[in-house]
Structure 1
Amino acid sequence: MSAEFDQLVAQFEQFQAKLQHVDEQFSGLDQMQAEIAGVEATATSADRSVTVVAGPGGSVKDIRFTEAALRQSPQALSSAVLGTLQQAVAESARKQAGIVEEHAGDGMHLMDQVLDTQAQLFGTTPEELRASMEEQPKRPARAVETEDYSEQAVLRREEPPARPAPPSSGNDPSGNRFLNLYDEEDR
Structure 2
Amino acid sequence: MSFGSARDRVITVEVETGGALRDLRIEESALRLGPQELSKRILGLIERATAQASRRLELDDAESLGLGTSPELAEAAEETTPETWRVQ
TM-score using structure 2 length:
0.69
1:37-52 alignment, distance < 5 Å: 37=1, 39-45=2-8, 48-52=9-13
Asked if 1:77 is matched to 2:32, the reply is: no
* Letter paired with 2:3: E
User: Mind listing any 5+ residue stretches in structure 2 that lack a counterpart?
Assistant: 76-88
Counterpart contact for 2:19–2:46, Cα < 8 Å: no
Q: Name the % identity.
A: 32
Deviation at 1:40, TM superposition (A): 2.0
Higher strand share: 2
Match 1:55 to one of 3, 16, 23: 16
Higher CA-based Rg: 1
Deviation at 1:57, TM superposition (A): 3.0
User: Mind listing any 5+ residue stretches in structure 1 that lack a counterpart?
Assistant: 1-36, 109-187
Q: Kindly indicate whether structure 1 or structure 2 has the higher relative contact order, using CA contacts under 8 Å at least 6 residues apart.
A: 2
Deviation at 1:97, TM superposition (A): 0.6
* Letter paired with 1:71: R
RMSD value, Cα: 1.6
Aligned residue for 1:89?
50
Aligned length: 69
CA separation in 1, counterparts of 2:39 and 2:18?
A: 22
